[in-house]
A and B are shown apart, each in its own frame.
Chain A
Amino acid sequence: DQQVKQNSPSLSVQEGRISILNCDYTNSMFDYFLWYKKYPAEGPTFLISISSIKDKNEDGRFTVFLNKSAKHLSLHIVPSQPGDSAVYFCAARNSNAGNNRKLIWGLGTSLAVNP
């Protein structure tokens, strides 16, 4: 039972355009969401996060939008650069789960930004 879903395994975008990566979740108790970026043969690297009390968080070229009623979040990258080519993971947690605040991960979306 996958509680965090990234339904697009891959996405290809032209350099300079917008990349939109989507993530859906099923557990309404999730209240904190993170995006990680992963290059081949490396570990995931934290990119940006959002709390459920917000609907948008921006950091430079990266913006995360949260739609709680739809249980959906998206990561926007503008403008996209070739160095953004990587696998992007969405992760979620229930902050009220005490010590069991484990992150639940999506399967990732592989983004290719073409020059």
Chain B
Amino acid sequence: DTAVSQTPKYLVTQMGNDKSIKCEQNLGHDTMYWYKQDSKKFLKIMFSYNNKELIINETVPNRFSPKSPDKAHLNLHINSLELGDSAVYFCASSQGAISNQPQHFGDGTRLSIL
């Protein structure tokens, strides 16, 4: 009964391909996030959704498109993958976008572009 689960855990693909990463949380939270951790281990937010509405949209190439079909799911679709997209992508959730409740993280998706 994992709280925040991401699939796949590993993703190896060719440059130029399109891929999706899925995230689901069973904590009943109303806010979900996507983070990117690059090779320098820097954890940076990409997107955040609150009750299926986009509330944080950082400077991310529009090849990245998040989709939240419901409060418990936030998927990330990436078009035309580039070498620089290689990173670990973490999904997280929390209760309340403007509260100080801590975020709960999934175990990450390791994306490698060949």
Query: Which residues on A are within 8 Å of B, measured CB to CB?
Result: 32, 34, 41-46, 49, 51, 87, 89, 93, 95, 98-103, 105, 107-108
Contact = CB atoms under 8 A, between A and B. Distances in A.
Contact of B106 (A43, A46, A99): A43
A105 B35 CA distance: 11
A5 to B, nearest CB: 12
B98 A99 contact: yes
Contacts, number: 51
A95 B100 contact: yes
Contacts of B40: 107
A34 to B, nearest CB: 6
- 10 smallest CB-CB distances across A and B, nearest first, come from A43-B105, A46-B102, A105-B43, A99-B55, A102-B45, A43-B107, A44-B105, A42-B107, A43-B106, A32-B100
B100 A107 contact: no
A102 B104 CA distance: 14
A101 B102 CA distance: 12
Interface residues on B, range: 20 to 34
Contacts of A103: 45, 103
B92 A43 contact: yes
Contacts of B103: 46, 103
Interface in B49-84: 50, 55-56, 58
A44 B90 CA distance: 9
Of the listed residues A32, A46, A49, the one surrounded by the most CB atoms of chain B closer than 10 A to its CB is A46
Given A49-B100, A51-B100, A107 B42 contact: yes
Contacts of B43: 44, 89, 105
Given A51-B100, A98-B98, A43 B108 contact: yes
